[in-house]
Amino acid sequence: MQVGIIGATGFVGSLLGQRLLDRGDHLIILARNVSKAQGMFPTAAVVDWQDDRSAAEALQRCDTVVNLAGRPIADPWNRTVKAEIYHSRIDTTAKLIALLAGLDRKPQVMVSASAIGYYGSSETEQFTETSPKGTGFLADVCQDWEAKADGAESLGIRLVKLRIGIVLDRGGGALGKILPLFQLGLGGILGRGTQWFSWIHRTDLVNLILFCLDRGDVRGVLNATAPQPVTNSQFTELLAQQVKRPALLPVPEFALKLALGEGASVVLEGQKVIPVRPIESGFQFTYPQLEDALAAICR
Ligand SMILES: NC(=O)c1ccc[n+]([C@@H]2O[C@H](COP(=O)([O-])OP(=O)(O)OC[C@H]3O[C@@H](n4cnc5c(N)ncnc54)[C@H](OP(=O)(O)O)[C@@H]3O)[C@@H](O)[C@H]2O)c1
Centre of ligand 1 from the C-alpha of residue 73, in Å: 9
Where are the chain's structural domains?
2-168+199-225
Ligand 1 pocket, Cβ-based, cut-off 6 angstroms: 7-13, 31-33, 37, 49, 68-72, 84, 88, 92, 113, 115, 164, 166-167, 173-174
Centre of ligand 1 from the C-alpha of residue 249, in Å: 30
Q: What is the dihedral of CA 215, 126, 253, 239, to 10 degrees?
A: -60
Give the residue from 137, 101, 133 showing the smallest Cα distance to 119: 133
**The ligand 1 atom nearest the CA atom of 84:** 31
Ligand 1 site-directed mutation target among 11, 65, 91, most atoms within 8 Å of CB: 11
CATH fold of 2-168+199-225 reads Rossmann fold (3.40.50)
Q: What is the pTM of this model?
A: 0.98
**The ligand 1 atom nearest the CA atom of 167:** 3
Residue 67 has phi, psi (to 5 degrees) of: -110, 105
What is the pLDDT tens value at each position of the chain, 299 positions in all? 999 999 999 999 999 999 999 999 999 999 999 999 999 999 999 999 999 999 999 999 999 999 999 999 998 999 999 999 999 999 999 999 999 999 999 999 999 999 999 999 999 999 999 999 999 999 999 999 999 999 999 999 999 999 999 999 999 999 998 999 999 999 999 999 999 999 999 999 999 999 999 999 999 999 999 999 999 999 999 999 999 999 999 999 999 998 888 999 999 999 999 999 999 999 999 999 999 999 999 99
